[in-house]
């Protein structure tokens, strides 16, 4: 793959719903697990779970249903679970369309608003990078409440978090494959000098100072409806703390510097990097560099005509088809490898 292929840029409690419906609730906490009954979901918390259609418990709305019993039955199932890690300034609810599609084809999807985002408590736009890495691991472990966690997908800054979690802390238990889309490994356009200066000199004194992200919704997708939805979503953020912005840039470079250790640190975990060839937010070529340094089984593919959010593009159905195929491929290969 050469640079031209990337394009050129100008300088919780549980509430079970009818099948495929998303559930919105609070962070996973065993002490709260039986507080809600089956039926109308809670919308007060940052954790989303879209249950697979094939699970019979996800198709009932019995008012007297017991959440504790429902959870126990889910634990005994082999329903595959995909954990999603969203990007900077957005929230887990923005993955509703693709999650419903996957739920309709047998995958349970789990996503939680990152700290400082969406419905999470605390200061908006601010979080410790190490706490975010902890959150990725915690959500992965907690996803076992809904089936068998098998795959993880990180988008943009979420892709940065997934790559850094796996490189720094090793392969997650039971993980069969990782997908990152438009990962934040390098900014597509030069970072303004004042932001670089602030990251170096202001952050140590004012780590929680909020600075604008300068994300233009037009850079996310060619789909005008999705652009308008992003602009009108009150849960999206336009600012980030100085310490989080600095950590994002530093961790991006760290991941590129250590990409060659991917197989050693992750036990040769299958990795796929998809990047919009017209991405004006994160650098497509950086994804190529990461995959090339990581070596097989890491695979890189630039998507022609795609901006930053491939799953929100006009070709979102094709993206969903490819994602389903990728998840199935990982599962099949894992079963074959485990067969005596």
Query: Phi and psi of 296, rounded to 5°?
Result: -60, 135
The per-residue pLDDT for 40 is 24
| Rounded Cα gap, residues 322 and 91, in angstroms | 23
> Does a structural domain hold residue 276?
yes
Taking the CB of residue 224, how many other CB atoms lie within 10 A of it? 11
Mean pLDDT, the chain, integer: 82
Q: Which helix (H) or strand (E) holds 196?
A: helix 193-197
Overall pTM surpassing 0.75 (yes/no): yes
Give the tokens for residue 41: 């979901």
Which pLDDT belongs to residue 333?
65
23-32, 35-44, 75-84, 306-315: range with highest mean pLDDT: 306-315
Task: Characterise 237 by phi-psi region: left (phi > 0), alpha (psi -120 to 50), beta (else).
Answer: beta
- CATH number for 298: 3.40.50.1820
Place of tokens 């004194």: 205
| pLDDT for position 70 | 38
Q: Does 214 map to a domain?
A: no
Q: Token digits for 281?
A: 């937010």
pLDDT tens digits for range 174-215 = 999 999 999 999 999 988 787 778 778 888 899 999 989 989
Residue 217 lies in a domain: no
Rounded Cα distance, 87 and 320, in Å: 18
* Domain annotation covers residue 220: no
CA distance 314 to 128: 35
Residue 178 structural domain = 3-190+250-335
Tell me the pLDDT tens digit for each residue of 242-288: 999 999 999 999 999 999 999 999 999 999 999 999 999 999 999 99
What DSSP line would sit under 220-282, residue for residue? T-S-HHHHHHHHH-TT--SEEEHHHHHHHHHHHHHHHHTGGGHHHHHTS--EEEEEETT-SSB
Rg of the chain over Cα atoms, rounded to whole angstroms, equals: 19
Is position 196 within any domain? no
Structural domains in the chain (count): 1
Does residue 11 form part of some domain? yes
> Phi/psi of residue 52, each to 5°?
-65, 145
Give the chain's end-to-end CA distance (angstroms, integer). 37
pLDDT number for residue 73: 39
Phi–psi pair at 129, nearest 5 degrees: -60, -40
What local confidence, expressed as pLDDT, does residue 331 receive? 79
Write the pLDDT tens digit of every residue in 19-70.
333 333 333 332 222 222 222 222 336 999 999 974 444 432 223 333 333 3
Tell me the CB-side half-sphere exposure of residue 251, using CA atoms within 13 A.
Answer: 26
In this structure, is residue 230 part of a structural domain? Answer: no
Residue 303 has pLDDT above 60, yes or no: yes
pLDDT at position 190: 85
Q: Are strands 210-212 and 239-241 parallel, antiparallel or unpaired?
A: antiparallel
> Residues with Cβ < 8 Å from 237, sequence gap 6 or more?
88, 89, 90, 117, 124, 125, 213
Q: Is residue 51 part of a domain?
A: yes
Instruction: Calculate mean pLDDT across residues 138-161.
Output: 96
In whole angstroms, what is the distance from residue 273 CA to residue 162 CA? 12
């Amino acid at each position: 793959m050469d640079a031209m292929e990337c394009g050129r840029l100008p300088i919780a409690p549980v509430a079970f719903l009818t099948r495929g419906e998303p559930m919105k609730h609070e962070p996973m906490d065993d002490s709260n697990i039986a507080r809600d009954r089956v039926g109308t979901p809670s919308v007060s918390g940052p954790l989303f779970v879209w249950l697979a259609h094939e699970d019979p418990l996800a198709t009932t709305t019995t008012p007297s249903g017991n959440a504790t019993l429902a959870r126990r039955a889910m634990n005994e199932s082999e329903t595959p679970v995909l954990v999603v890690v969203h990007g900077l300034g957005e929230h887990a609810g923005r993955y509703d369309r693709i999650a419903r599609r996957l739920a309709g084809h047998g995958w349970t999807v789990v996503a939680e608003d990152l700290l400082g985002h969406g419905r999470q408590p605390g200061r908006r736009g601010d979080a410790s990078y190490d706490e975010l890495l902890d959150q990725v691991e915690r959500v992965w472990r907690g996803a076992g409440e809904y089936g068998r966690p098998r795959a993880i997908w990180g988008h943009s800054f979420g892709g940065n978090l997934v790559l850094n979690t796996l490189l720094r802390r090793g392969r997650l238990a039971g993980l069969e494959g990782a997908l990152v889309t438009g990962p934040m490994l390098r900014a597509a356009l030069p970072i303004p000098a004042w932001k670089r200066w602030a990251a170096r000199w202001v952050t140590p004194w004012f780590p929680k100072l909020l600075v604008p992200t300068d994300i233009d919704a037009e850079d996310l997708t060619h789909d005008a409806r999705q652009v308008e939805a992003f602009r009108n979503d009150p849960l999206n953020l336009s600012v980030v703390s100085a310490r989080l912005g600095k950590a994002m840039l530093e961790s991006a470079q760290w991941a590129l510097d250590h990409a060659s250790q991917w197989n050693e640190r992750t036990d040769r975990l299958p990795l796929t990097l998809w990047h919009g060839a017209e991405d004006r937010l994160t650098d497509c070529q950086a994804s190529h560099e990461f995959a090339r340094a990581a070596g097989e089984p890491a695979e890189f593919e630039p998507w022609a005509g795609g901006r930053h959010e491939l799953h929100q593009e006009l070709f979102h159905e094709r993206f969903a088809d490819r994602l389903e195929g990728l998840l199935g491929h990982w599962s099949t290969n894992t079963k074959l490898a485990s067969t005596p």
